[in-house]
């Protein structure tokens, strides 16, 4: 139904409540002035009769957007002239901000068959030139935050992304971020944990093949991400990822294949698909269960990006294995504020390593897991009331980020356990 503005030349009409509707069965195209009955509840229904037989504004077929209707003011039963005009903002396209950071999607190879050893070389404008026309889908503005392989993303680039998104939330209807896939899951987890985006979709996108590949996936992935960010059904879903025709929750994704186009495991956060320009969600809008939103007290201006580089306390990840040397914990404890261990199984470590973890009682140590699926339950901890925390279903990379945010917030060990309890750890 077309949205319209109601302009009246009746002095008393401002005290009336008007409900504007366009119903095909009530159209009277042969008469531009009709008398509409009023109801007893002071609600006046105004029918825009300047529509064609397909219920489209007549202006689309060369007509005019204005119809004058004689109706009755429900307050005092005086006749008023009501002018129906097409609302200038009703058909406004969504405004989408694209933030570029680099990655394979912005890379070039030396030939069309090269899918490794390429280098980042394309800007956002060059990426947009390679996708289908989006002029009827949305209005685009873009900004190049950085242009690096995602393996090079440090706290400096991460906070630039954070600030770029934060500064765009109130100005745009959706945000798209191009990003390398190697560390994409870490960035999306961080953004979901630190930004309350309200109903604005934040859509990350990357690719597994460079732009010069004979079957490059980047252009279609970017096109789909823009469409997803522009779609009203994407509202109130938090941080999303658009890759390989799939729509996923950024909080849950994990890269599980280093080479394949189908590179991300979204077992917990598989939300929908993009098929032939159609967006299909399997569930109503919902955000991750148990998530904690951390507030970063930082200057959001670009000039302060480098100054905030050391904002997050350093946390180290150790990978457990047979004959794991417990003295490694002593080495890292002197340089890091927290430790994450990728344990064997669901929290299994040699007894000597467990004992060493408990000895380091002044530093939080999160037990994560080497395996892709499953979780570390609290019951597998060597001591439930100590500095050791169960990582739940989070992998080591995400456990590291969550522990950093807990340390930044100066939480106690008990408060940290409560935070990790949201991901079934603690």
Residues belonging to the active site? 104, 181
- Torsions phi, psi for 73 (to 5 deg): -75, 120
- Dihedral through CA 415, CA 153, CA 155, CA 196, nearest 10? -60
Here the tokens at position 114 are: 């090269």
272 three-class SS: strand
Contact between residue 193 and residue 292 where contact means Cβ atoms under 8 Å apart: yes
Confirm or deny that 182 is annotated as ligand binding: yes
Residue 352: which H helix or E strand, with range? helix 351-359
Confirm or deny that 196 is annotated as ligand binding: no
At a CB cut-off of 8 Å and minimum separation 6, what does 327 contact? 356
Here the tokens at position 90 are: 């009703």
Give the C-alpha separation, 261 to 93, whole Å: 31
Give the C-alpha separation, 6 to 66, whole Å: 10
Give the C-alpha separation, 421 to 291, whole Å: 10
Confirm or deny that 181 is annotated as ligand binding: yes
Binding residues: 150, 181-182
Binding residues for substrate: 150, 181-182
């Amino acid at each position: 139904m077309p949205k319209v503005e109601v302009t009246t030349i009746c002095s008393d009409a401002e005290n009336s409540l008007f409900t504007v509707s366009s119903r095909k069965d009530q159209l009277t195209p042969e008469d531009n002035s009709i008398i509409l009955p009023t109801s007893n509840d002071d609600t006046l229904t105004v029918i825009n009769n300047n529509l064609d037989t397909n219920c489209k504004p007549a202006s689309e077929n060369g007509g005019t957007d204005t119809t004058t209707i004689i109706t009755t003011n429900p307050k005092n039963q005086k006749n008023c002239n009501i002018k129906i005009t097409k609302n200038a903002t009703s058909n406004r396209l969504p405004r989408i901000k694209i933030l570029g950071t680099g990655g394979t999607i912005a890379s070039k190879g030396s030939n069309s068959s090269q899918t490794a050893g390429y280098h980042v070389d394309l800007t956002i404008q060059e990426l947009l030139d390679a996708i289908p026309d989006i002029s009827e889908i949305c209005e685009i503005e873009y900004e190049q935050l950085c242009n690096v392989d995602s393996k090079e993303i440090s706290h400096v680039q991460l906070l630039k992304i954070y600030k770029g998104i934060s500064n765009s939330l109130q100005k745009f209807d959706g945000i798209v971020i191009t990003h390398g896939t190697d560390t994409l899951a870490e960035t999306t987890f961080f953004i979901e944990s630190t930004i309350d985006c309200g109903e604005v979709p934040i859509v990350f996108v990357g690719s597994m093949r460079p732009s010069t590949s004979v079957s490059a996936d980047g252009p279609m992935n970017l096109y789909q991400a823009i469409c997803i960010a522009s779609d009203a059904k994407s509202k109130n879903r938090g941080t999303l990822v658009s890759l390989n025709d799939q729509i996923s929750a950024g909080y849950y994704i994990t890269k599980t294949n280093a080479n394949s186009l189908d590179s991300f495991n979204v077992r917990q956060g598989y939300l929908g698909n993009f098929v032939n320009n159609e967006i299909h969600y399997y569930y109503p809008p919902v955000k991750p269960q148990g998530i904690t939103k951390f507030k970063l007290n930082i200057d959001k201006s670009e000039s302060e990006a480098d100054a905030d580089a050391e904002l997050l306390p350093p946390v180290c990840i150790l990978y457990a294995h047979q004959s794991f040397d417990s003295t490694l914990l002593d080495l890292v404890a002197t340089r890091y504020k927290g430790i994450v261990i990728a344990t064997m199984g669901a929290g299994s470590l040699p007894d000597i390593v467990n004992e060493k973890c408990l000895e380091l009682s002044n530093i939080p140590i999160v037990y994560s897991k080497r395996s892709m699926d499953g979780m570390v339950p609290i019951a597998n901890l060597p001591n439930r009331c100590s500095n050791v925390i169960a990582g739940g279903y989070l992998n080591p990379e995400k456990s590291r980020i969550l522990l950093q945010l807990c340390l930044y917030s100066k939480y106690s060990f008990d408060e940290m356990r409560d935070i990790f309890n949201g991901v079934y750890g603690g």
